[in-house]
Amino acid sequence: MELEISPLNLPGIDHTQRPVVIAGPCSAETEEQVMTSATQLAAKGYRIFRAGVWKPRTKPGGFEGKGEEALPWMKRVHDELGMLTATEVATPAHIEAALNYGIDILWIGARTVANPFAMQEIADSLRGVDIPVLVKNPVNPDLELWIGGLQRINGAGIKRLAAIHRGFSSYDKRLYRNQPMWSLPIELRRRVPELPIFGDPSHIGGRRELIAPLCQQAMDLGFEGLIIESHCNPDKAWSDAAQQVTPDVLDFILSKLTIRSEMVSTDTLQTLRKQIDECDNELLELLARRMKVCRAIGQYKKENNMQIVQTLRYTEILDKRGAQGALSGMSQEFVRAVFEHIHEESVNQQIEIINKK
Ligand code: PEP
Ligand code: MN
Protein backbone atom coordinates (compact mmCIF):
# COMPACT_ATOMS: atom_id res chain seq x y z
CA MET A 1 0.00 0.00 0.00
CA GLU A 2 1.39 3.33 -1.11
CA LEU A 3 1.42 6.19 1.35
CA GLU A 4 -0.40 9.27 0.15
CA ILE A 5 1.32 12.22 1.78
CA SER A 6 0.51 15.92 1.57
CA PRO A 7 2.75 18.67 2.95
CA LEU A 8 2.41 19.33 6.69
CA ASN A 9 1.46 22.95 6.02
CA LEU A 10 1.48 23.97 9.67
CA PRO A 11 -0.20 27.38 9.92
CA GLY A 12 2.29 30.20 10.39
CA ILE A 13 5.31 27.92 9.90
CA ASP A 14 7.80 28.53 7.11
CA HIS A 15 8.48 25.05 5.80
CA THR A 16 11.28 26.24 3.52
CA GLN A 17 13.45 26.82 6.61
CA ARG A 18 15.06 23.81 8.29
CA PRO A 19 14.65 22.72 11.01
CA VAL A 20 11.00 23.04 11.90
CA VAL A 21 11.29 22.93 15.69
CA ILE A 22 8.77 21.47 18.12
CA ALA A 23 9.84 22.28 21.66
CA GLY A 24 8.43 21.94 25.12
CA PRO A 25 8.61 19.86 28.26
CA CYS A 26 8.39 16.10 28.37
CA SER A 27 5.20 16.41 30.42
CA ALA A 28 2.64 19.05 31.27
CA GLU A 29 3.10 19.13 35.04
CA THR A 30 1.34 22.25 36.31
CA GLU A 31 -0.37 25.18 34.67
CA GLU A 32 2.48 27.41 35.78
CA GLN A 33 5.20 25.11 34.42
CA VAL A 34 3.38 24.87 31.08
CA MET A 35 2.80 28.61 30.78
CA THR A 36 6.31 29.57 31.91
CA SER A 37 8.01 27.09 29.57
CA ALA A 38 5.80 28.11 26.66
CA THR A 39 6.22 31.84 27.30
CA GLN A 40 10.01 31.48 27.36
CA LEU A 41 9.95 29.43 24.17
CA ALA A 42 7.61 31.87 22.42
CA ALA A 43 9.92 34.74 23.41
CA LYS A 44 12.75 32.96 21.58
CA GLY A 45 10.58 32.64 18.50
CA TYR A 46 9.55 29.01 18.82
CA ARG A 47 6.12 28.45 17.36
CA ILE A 48 5.25 24.82 18.11
CA PHE A 49 4.83 23.67 21.71
CA ARG A 50 4.99 20.04 22.80
CA ALA A 51 3.99 18.58 26.16
CA GLY A 52 2.94 15.09 27.15
CA VAL A 53 -0.49 15.03 28.74
CA TRP A 54 -0.66 11.22 29.00
CA LYS A 55 2.72 9.64 29.73
CA PRO A 56 3.50 6.02 28.93
CA ARG A 57 5.72 5.02 31.85
CA THR A 58 7.67 1.80 32.04
CA LYS A 59 6.48 0.97 35.55
CA PRO A 60 3.37 1.92 37.50
CA GLY A 61 3.74 4.46 40.24
CA GLY A 62 5.64 7.07 38.21
CA PHE A 63 4.12 10.33 37.02
CA GLU A 64 1.69 9.27 34.33
CA GLY A 65 0.72 12.71 33.16
CA LYS A 66 -2.04 15.01 34.31
CA GLY A 67 -4.44 13.77 31.65
CA GLU A 68 -7.43 15.90 30.71
CA GLU A 69 -6.70 18.37 33.50
CA ALA A 70 -3.70 19.59 31.47
CA LEU A 71 -5.62 20.20 28.24
CA PRO A 72 -6.93 23.67 29.22
CA TRP A 73 -3.30 24.68 29.88
CA MET A 74 -2.40 23.63 26.34
CA LYS A 75 -5.37 25.62 25.06
CA ARG A 76 -4.04 28.68 26.89
CA VAL A 77 -0.68 28.21 25.13
CA HIS A 78 -2.53 28.17 21.83
CA ASP A 79 -4.90 31.05 22.56
CA GLU A 80 -2.66 33.40 24.55
CA LEU A 81 0.75 32.78 22.95
CA GLY A 82 -0.44 31.88 19.46
CA MET A 83 1.64 28.71 19.42
CA LEU A 84 0.62 25.46 17.81
CA THR A 85 0.25 22.71 20.40
CA ALA A 86 1.27 19.07 20.11
CA THR A 87 0.72 16.12 22.40
CA GLU A 88 0.99 12.35 22.44
CA VAL A 89 -2.14 10.26 22.01
CA ALA A 90 -2.40 6.53 22.52
CA THR A 91 -6.14 5.77 22.62
CA PRO A 92 -9.34 6.98 20.95
CA ALA A 93 -10.30 8.63 24.27
CA HIS A 94 -7.06 10.66 24.21
CA ILE A 95 -7.81 11.75 20.67
CA GLU A 96 -11.34 12.82 21.49
CA ALA A 97 -10.16 14.84 24.48
CA ALA A 98 -7.23 16.41 22.59
CA LEU A 99 -9.49 17.45 19.71
CA ASN A 100 -12.01 18.95 22.14
CA TYR A 101 -9.28 21.28 23.41
CA GLY A 102 -8.06 22.23 19.95
CA ILE A 103 -4.67 20.49 20.07
CA ASP A 104 -3.10 21.26 16.67
CA ILE A 105 -0.75 18.32 16.15
CA LEU A 106 -0.86 14.76 17.47
CA TRP A 107 2.04 12.41 17.85
CA ILE A 108 1.99 8.70 18.49
CA GLY A 109 4.60 7.35 20.87
CA ALA A 110 7.10 4.58 20.23
CA ARG A 111 5.38 2.02 22.46
CA THR A 112 2.03 2.57 20.78
CA VAL A 113 3.44 2.37 17.25
CA ALA A 114 4.77 -1.09 18.14
CA ASN A 115 1.18 -2.28 18.65
CA PRO A 116 -0.84 -2.71 15.44
CA PHE A 117 -4.15 -3.11 17.33
CA ALA A 118 -3.63 0.22 19.08
CA MET A 119 -2.59 1.86 15.80
CA GLN A 120 -5.71 0.60 14.05
CA GLU A 121 -7.94 1.87 16.85
CA ILE A 122 -6.25 5.25 16.71
CA ALA A 123 -6.60 5.33 12.93
CA ASP A 124 -10.30 4.46 13.11
CA SER A 125 -10.96 7.24 15.58
CA LEU A 126 -9.17 9.76 13.32
CA ARG A 127 -11.38 9.06 10.32
CA GLY A 128 -12.82 12.31 8.99
CA VAL A 129 -10.46 14.49 11.07
CA ASP A 130 -7.92 16.76 9.38
CA ILE A 131 -4.96 17.05 11.73
CA PRO A 132 -1.22 16.51 11.27
CA VAL A 133 -0.02 13.28 12.89
CA LEU A 134 3.61 12.48 13.68
CA VAL A 135 4.43 8.81 14.03
CA LYS A 136 7.47 7.90 16.12
CA ASN A 137 9.51 4.86 15.24
CA PRO A 138 8.40 1.79 17.18
CA VAL A 139 10.58 0.84 20.16
CA ASN A 140 12.10 -2.01 18.17
CA PRO A 141 14.06 -1.40 14.96
CA ASP A 142 11.43 -2.66 12.54
CA LEU A 143 11.02 -0.39 9.55
CA GLU A 144 8.04 -2.33 8.21
CA LEU A 145 6.19 -1.91 11.51
CA TRP A 146 6.91 1.83 11.40
CA ILE A 147 5.65 2.06 7.81
CA GLY A 148 2.68 -0.15 8.73
CA GLY A 149 1.73 2.31 11.47
CA LEU A 150 1.96 5.21 9.01
CA GLN A 151 -0.16 3.24 6.54
CA ARG A 152 -2.90 2.61 9.11
CA ILE A 153 -3.15 6.33 9.94
CA ASN A 154 -2.95 7.22 6.26
CA GLY A 155 -5.68 4.67 5.51
CA ALA A 156 -8.00 6.71 7.74
CA GLY A 157 -7.53 9.69 5.43
CA ILE A 158 -4.77 11.52 7.35
CA LYS A 159 -2.37 12.81 4.72
CA ARG A 160 -0.45 15.37 6.74
CA LEU A 161 1.91 12.81 8.21
CA ALA A 162 5.49 12.89 9.42
CA ALA A 163 7.86 10.40 11.01
CA ILE A 164 9.97 10.88 14.13
CA HIS A 165 13.22 9.02 14.70
CA ARG A 166 13.57 8.61 18.49
CA GLY A 167 15.95 5.65 18.52
CA PHE A 168 15.42 2.06 19.59
CA SER A 169 15.43 0.54 23.00
CA SER A 170 18.09 -2.02 23.74
CA TYR A 171 19.17 -4.13 26.66
CA ASP A 172 22.60 -2.61 26.84
CA LYS A 173 22.39 1.17 27.34
CA ARG A 174 25.76 2.78 27.14
CA LEU A 175 25.99 6.05 25.30
CA TYR A 176 22.40 6.46 24.17
CA ARG A 177 19.16 5.96 26.00
CA ASN A 178 17.64 4.76 22.74
CA GLN A 179 20.12 3.67 20.13
CA PRO A 180 19.77 5.70 16.92
CA MET A 181 19.82 3.63 13.75
CA TRP A 182 20.04 6.25 11.04
CA SER A 183 19.84 3.65 8.30
CA LEU A 184 16.13 3.16 9.09
CA PRO A 185 14.97 6.75 8.56
CA ILE A 186 17.28 6.94 5.55
CA GLU A 187 15.58 3.90 4.04
CA LEU A 188 12.20 5.40 4.98
CA ARG A 189 13.21 8.56 3.09
CA ARG A 190 14.19 6.48 0.07
CA ARG A 191 10.88 4.65 0.11
CA VAL A 192 8.61 7.66 0.90
CA PRO A 193 10.58 10.72 -0.21
CA GLU A 194 7.78 13.22 0.44
CA LEU A 195 7.32 12.17 4.11
CA PRO A 196 8.91 14.75 6.47
CA ILE A 197 11.19 13.28 9.13
CA PHE A 198 11.85 14.76 12.57
CA GLY A 199 14.73 13.86 14.87
CA ASP A 200 14.07 13.43 18.59
CA PRO A 201 17.51 14.00 20.13
CA SER A 202 16.04 14.10 23.65
CA HIS A 203 14.76 10.53 23.62
CA ILE A 204 17.66 9.17 21.58
CA GLY A 205 20.30 10.70 23.82
CA GLY A 206 18.62 10.66 27.21
CA ARG A 207 21.19 13.26 28.34
CA ARG A 208 21.35 16.94 27.59
CA GLU A 209 24.99 16.84 26.43
CA LEU A 210 23.97 14.65 23.51
CA ILE A 211 21.29 16.98 22.17
CA ALA A 212 23.60 19.21 20.14
CA PRO A 213 25.46 16.45 18.24
CA LEU A 214 22.22 14.55 17.63
CA CYS A 215 20.52 17.67 16.24
CA GLN A 216 23.47 18.20 13.91
CA GLN A 217 23.35 14.59 12.76
CA ALA A 218 19.63 14.85 12.00
CA MET A 219 20.24 18.03 9.98
CA ASP A 220 23.16 16.47 8.12
CA LEU A 221 20.91 13.60 7.10
CA GLY A 222 18.40 16.05 5.65
CA PHE A 223 15.67 15.71 8.28
CA GLU A 224 13.06 18.47 8.11
CA GLY A 225 12.51 18.96 11.80
CA LEU A 226 13.46 18.42 15.41
CA ILE A 227 11.29 17.67 18.43
CA ILE A 228 13.20 18.62 21.55
CA GLU A 229 12.30 18.58 25.22
CA SER A 230 12.64 21.98 26.84
CA HIS A 231 11.50 22.84 30.37
CA CYS A 232 11.66 26.07 32.37
CA ASN A 233 13.35 24.16 35.21
CA PRO A 234 14.78 20.93 33.75
CA ASP A 235 16.37 19.57 36.90
CA LYS A 236 13.02 19.66 38.63
CA ALA A 237 11.13 17.99 35.77
CA TRP A 238 8.72 15.24 36.82
CA SER A 239 9.81 13.05 33.89
CA ASP A 240 12.94 12.81 31.73
CA ALA A 241 14.81 15.46 33.77
CA ALA A 242 18.29 14.46 32.54
CA GLN A 243 17.49 15.14 28.90
CA GLN A 244 15.64 18.44 29.15
CA VAL A 245 17.15 21.88 28.61
CA THR A 246 15.91 25.39 29.31
CA PRO A 247 14.57 27.41 26.38
CA ASP A 248 17.76 29.50 26.62
CA VAL A 249 20.04 26.49 26.28
CA LEU A 250 17.86 25.10 23.51
CA ASP A 251 18.21 28.34 21.61
CA PHE A 252 21.98 28.34 22.11
CA ILE A 253 22.25 24.74 20.84
CA LEU A 254 20.15 25.47 17.77
CA SER A 255 22.03 28.67 16.99
CA LYS A 256 25.22 26.58 16.63
CA LEU A 257 23.74 24.17 14.11
CA THR A 258 25.20 24.14 10.65
CA ILE A 259 22.43 23.68 8.15
CA ARG A 260 24.07 22.40 5.02
CA SER A 261 22.25 22.59 1.75
CA GLU A 262 20.85 19.33 0.50
CA MET A 263 23.33 19.40 -2.34
CA VAL A 264 26.10 18.52 0.08
CA SER A 265 24.40 15.56 1.67
CA THR A 266 23.83 13.72 -1.58
CA ASP A 267 22.19 10.36 -1.98
CA THR A 268 25.61 8.86 -2.60
CA LEU A 269 26.92 10.19 0.68
CA GLN A 270 23.90 8.86 2.51
CA THR A 271 24.29 5.46 0.92
CA LEU A 272 27.94 5.38 1.91
CA ARG A 273 27.13 6.42 5.46
CA LYS A 274 24.53 3.71 5.63
CA GLN A 275 27.23 1.23 4.65
CA ILE A 276 29.43 2.58 7.45
CA ASP A 277 26.59 2.08 9.94
CA GLU A 278 26.16 -1.47 8.74
CA CYS A 279 29.91 -2.17 9.05
CA ASP A 280 29.87 -0.81 12.60
CA ASN A 281 26.91 -2.97 13.48
CA GLU A 282 28.68 -6.02 12.11
CA LEU A 283 31.86 -5.10 13.99
CA LEU A 284 29.91 -4.84 17.23
CA GLU A 285 28.17 -8.14 16.65
CA LEU A 286 31.49 -9.82 15.89
CA LEU A 287 33.07 -8.36 18.99
CA ALA A 288 30.19 -9.59 21.10
CA ARG A 289 30.61 -13.06 19.57
CA ARG A 290 34.33 -12.96 20.30
CA MET A 291 33.67 -12.05 23.93
CA LYS A 292 31.26 -14.94 24.24
CA VAL A 293 34.02 -17.31 23.09
CA CYS A 294 36.37 -15.66 25.60
CA ARG A 295 33.96 -16.40 28.40
CA ALA A 296 33.83 -20.04 27.28
CA ILE A 297 37.63 -20.10 27.34
CA GLY A 298 37.55 -18.56 30.81
CA GLN A 299 35.28 -21.36 31.97
CA TYR A 300 37.63 -23.96 30.49
CA LYS A 301 40.69 -22.39 32.13
CA LYS A 302 38.86 -22.25 35.43
CA GLU A 303 37.91 -25.93 35.30
CA ASN A 304 41.45 -26.88 34.37
CA ASN A 305 43.18 -24.52 36.72
CA MET A 306 45.02 -22.65 33.97
CA GLN A 307 46.25 -19.07 34.12
CA ILE A 308 44.36 -16.47 32.11
CA VAL A 309 47.02 -14.55 30.24
CA GLN A 310 49.23 -16.80 28.24
CA THR A 311 51.90 -14.45 26.99
CA LEU A 312 53.01 -16.52 24.02
CA ARG A 313 49.52 -16.72 22.62
CA TYR A 314 49.04 -12.96 23.16
CA THR A 315 52.26 -12.01 21.33
CA GLU A 316 51.32 -14.38 18.53
CA ILE A 317 47.92 -12.73 18.12
CA LEU A 318 49.34 -9.20 18.03
CA ASP A 319 52.03 -10.11 15.48
CA LYS A 320 49.74 -12.08 13.27
CA ARG A 321 46.90 -9.58 13.25
CA GLY A 322 49.31 -6.67 12.73
CA ALA A 323 50.75 -8.39 9.67
CA GLN A 324 47.28 -9.31 8.36
CA GLY A 325 46.17 -5.70 8.82
CA ALA A 326 49.16 -4.42 6.86
CA LEU A 327 48.23 -6.74 4.01
CA SER A 328 44.73 -5.19 3.98
CA GLY A 329 46.07 -1.66 3.67
CA MET A 330 45.99 -0.61 7.35
CA SER A 331 48.91 0.42 9.47
CA GLN A 332 50.39 -2.34 11.59
CA GLU A 333 50.44 -0.07 14.66
CA PHE A 334 46.75 0.69 14.29
CA VAL A 335 45.77 -2.96 14.05
CA ARG A 336 48.02 -3.91 16.98
CA ALA A 337 46.48 -1.13 19.08
CA VAL A 338 42.95 -2.31 18.25
CA PHE A 339 43.83 -5.86 19.24
CA GLU A 340 45.51 -4.73 22.42
CA HIS A 341 42.21 -3.15 23.46
CA ILE A 342 40.22 -6.18 22.41
CA HIS A 343 42.61 -8.42 24.33
CA GLU A 344 42.27 -6.29 27.44
CA GLU A 345 38.50 -6.62 27.37
CA SER A 346 38.78 -10.38 26.67
CA VAL A 347 40.96 -10.79 29.75
CA ASN A 348 38.47 -8.83 31.83
CA GLN A 349 35.66 -11.06 30.63
CA GLN A 350 37.67 -14.17 31.54
CA ILE A 351 38.50 -12.80 34.97
CA GLU A 352 34.81 -12.22 35.58
CA ILE A 353 34.07 -15.88 34.76
CA ILE A 354 36.94 -17.20 36.86
CA ASN A 355 35.93 -15.16 39.90
CA LYS A 356 32.30 -16.19 39.62
CA LYS A 357 31.38 -18.39 42.56
C1 PEP B 1 7.82 11.64 24.58
O2 PEP B 1 7.99 12.17 23.49
O3 PEP B 1 7.74 12.27 25.65
C4 PEP B 1 7.81 10.15 24.65
C5 PEP B 1 7.21 9.49 25.63
O6 PEP B 1 8.52 9.60 23.68
P7 PEP B 1 8.72 8.09 23.15
O8 PEP B 1 7.38 7.61 22.68
O9 PEP B 1 9.68 8.34 22.04
O10 PEP B 1 9.31 7.29 24.26
MN1 MN C 1 10.06 12.46 27.46
| The pLDDT of residue 263 is above 80 | no
- The whole-number average pLDDT for the span 32-58 is 97
How far away, in angstroms, is 111 Cα from ligand 1 center? 8
Annotate 88-123 with b (16+ C-beta within 10 A) or e (fewer): bbbeeebbebbeebebbbbbbbbbbbbbeebbbbbb
Average pLDDT over residues 335-357: 87
Could you tell which of 88, 105, 227 is best to mutate to test the pocket of ligand 1, judged by most ligand atoms within 8 Å of the CB?
Answer: 88
Nearest protein Cα to ligand 1, atom 8: 109
Q: 50 φ, ψ to 5°?
A: -110, 150
278 pLDDT more than 70: yes
In 3D space, the residue among 265, 261, 350, 267 whose CA is nearest the CA of residue 304 turns out to be 350
Write down the pLDDT at residue 123: 98
Average pLDDT on 179-198 reads 95
Looking at the CA of residue 167, tell me the nearest atom of ligand 1: 9
pTM: 0.77
First-to-last C-alpha distance (Å) of the chain: 56
Nearest CA to ligand 1 atom 3: 26
pLDDT at 37: 98
Q: Ligand 2 mean position to 168 CA, how many Å? A: 14
Please tell me the distance from the alpha carbon of residue 53 to that of residue 325, in angstroms, as a whole number. Answer: 55
Average pLDDT, the chain: 93
Q: Which of 136, 139, 140, 229, when mutated, tests ligand 1's pocket best, judged by the most ligand atoms within 8 Å of its CB?
A: 136
Average pLDDT of span 73-85:
98
* Higher-pLDDT residue of 319, 167: 167
Write out residues with Cβ below 6 Å of ligand 1. Answer: 26, 52, 56, 88, 109-110, 136, 166, 203
pLDDT at 260 (0 to 100): 87
Q: Whose CA is nearest to atom 1 of ligand 1?
A: 26
Report yes or no: 255 and 44 within 8 Å, Cβ to Cβ: no
Stated length of the chain: 357
Starting from the CA of residue 231, give the closest ligand.
Answer: 2
Half-sphere exposure for 97 (CA within 13 Å, toward CB): 18
pLDDT the model gives residue 162: 98
For the segment 218-241, the average pLDDT, to the nearest whole number, is 97
Question: Is residue 40 scored above 80 in pLDDT?
Answer: yes
